[in-house]
Structure 1
Amino acid sequence: MMGERRVAQEALFYEFSLERHVPTEHWVRAIDRFVDLSDIRAHLRPFYSEIGRPSIDPELMIRMLLIGYCFGIRSERRLCEEVHLNLAYRWFCRLGLEGDVPDHSTFSKNRHGRFRDSDLLRELFETTVRRCIAEGLVGGEGFAVDASLIKADANKQCSAEASEPVDWDDLARTRRSVREYLDTLDEAAWGAASETRPKFVSRSDPAAQWTGALKGHAFFAYATNYLIDLDHAVIVDVEASRAIRQAEVGSARTMLDRTLERFGLWPARLAADSAYGSAENLAWLVHERGIEPHIPVFDKSQRSDGTFSRSDFAYDHARDLYTCPGGKELRQRQKVYRTERPLVDENGLMRYHASKFACDACSLKPQCCPITPARKILRSIHEGARDMARDIAQTDAYVVSRRERKKVEMLFAHLKRILRLDRLRLRGPNGARDEFHLAAAAQNLRKLAKLLPNGTQVRAA
């Protein structure tokens, strides 16, 4: 027998509880336990006027942004629609059933004003780090650092070649991203990171770096730099920079110093890839910060033409000389000059020379220096730190660090595949910082919800 057709009827009274409607195992409940925005009003109070019409609740906007970054909702226009329709999101945002969702343009106005002036998103991220520390998820003994490229909101069609003159001052009058680019020309993580000019410069977002580092089609990109604790892969700091190695190394130093200043965390060891294994960076870690570098040494002295490499020469620390496989000595001074020359060049390298007379009489000359009169060895003034890193690389602890370092790469994969941050929506250095701070805060909140489920099995939304 066919059932009767049901027609929705309006009722005079409804009894509906939003608290009971949201399942106990939903992700928003797990994340909400670790979201503490009680100090946000005091933090923003100096940036609001004492008179005038009341503004939209800043806590509501931050909660909506967290929903967007935690669940991969990239568009703020779509975020407003999702919060309007989704009861679980309404519960998280404290809107109830009848609360009004703010217009999407409100986020842009506050982001370019109060949020950046007060550095609110940075404070939000650091709040998640403090909560992770309080919950015992940060050991503080071993850290790992790495960078990943994120495509910028720029394309080649709206770009200029490096040799093409561009009136940046004129563009800065109408484009916020150009003004931010001009303001960061002297910063170590941006304009001052390298004097090498890229092949193309974007007119819409000139701080973005033209790069072909992914071995495919080149594109404009920023670099997000993560410093993580190796115990549970908690992100303890995040930094935006240009997508070049020098800027990424400088960002690692900034994050290590800031982590010590803000949270009192001083790691005993740091794991990273060979991009961070330059002599200067290793010396900074060892001599200035006392951190063990579990990092491959960036070394180009190994030869592939069958002749002796630098590793085939033995260095005598006491006598400050090298001994070649044939038993001859290489010194910094083989003869006395009328005008004494410096022992160290502008690149921090010392040169050890063999005697031409000794090399001519040596039977190993075809294997050592077949096309030069005598053999020469370059040694960095930071070679002691490089030797320490080489010695660490032979230990079992280094093998463990190399395996644990993959945790930061997994965070980048999660960032791009799950949170969908494979391309930036905002332009300029400040836009990149805002997106990276929110994404790192979302990842830490999801980490807390996963590791501390409060006795329930957390499921995806």
Structure 2
Amino acid sequence: MMGRLKSDQGQLFYEFRLGDAVPEDHLVRKIDAALDLSWLRGELASHYTSMGRPSIDPELMIRMLIAGYVFAIRSERLICREVKVNLAYRYEPTGDVYHCPGGKRLATSGTVHEGKTLLYRANKLDCDGCPLKPQCCPKEPSRKIPRDIHEHARDVARALAGTEGFELSRRQRKKIEMRFAHLKRILKLGRLRLRGPRGAQDEFVLAAIAQNLRRFASLVARPPPAQALRIA
């Protein structure tokens, strides 16, 4: 039987409302506003029986999977943990700290692990007396949150999304990608014959000239709209 998520998440996993804990400018809120899955239940209805216990809401499952790909989380178990806990942890750029649902701080020593990750750790004394510890970090003495050292740059890029400059750049990127696809598929430039940076530059210049000539020839050979109308 297909289940349905009730009360719009309500009190999810903890004794606080997840909607109140996630910051207004969090990427999750923007994705939720843009993602319309109202059609999903109708598409999947034929795959569920009318008997038995209600399943997990398929819309919730899809949203969790999408969130996993957005935040580069490849483990289903880790996705569940992130949805239950990490979305409620708020990062404060001014102090370079996280705040947990219990209001405690998670700070980092500044040590970079594996060349790319900072670990923000809670104080063990804070976690020992916290009622959320059984759900938050049941097998660890204290909570820790990994953060990529380039996450700030990603935040800047996310903030630019939707601006006029971003939309212009997006249109230009599409044009460039089409040109590269044309080079590989039509002009057979899958491999370069000349060696070195100068050789690659020469080949791309010649290929660009060929592209421009092909485009120019198609425009010249096409009669102007007014002339085409008279011929018709």
> What is the TM-score normalised by the length of structure 2?
0.48
Q: RCO greater where, 1 or 2, for CA within 8 Å and sep 6 or more?
A: 1
User: For the pair shown, which has the larger CA radius of gyration, 1 or 2?
Assistant: 1
More helix per residue? 2
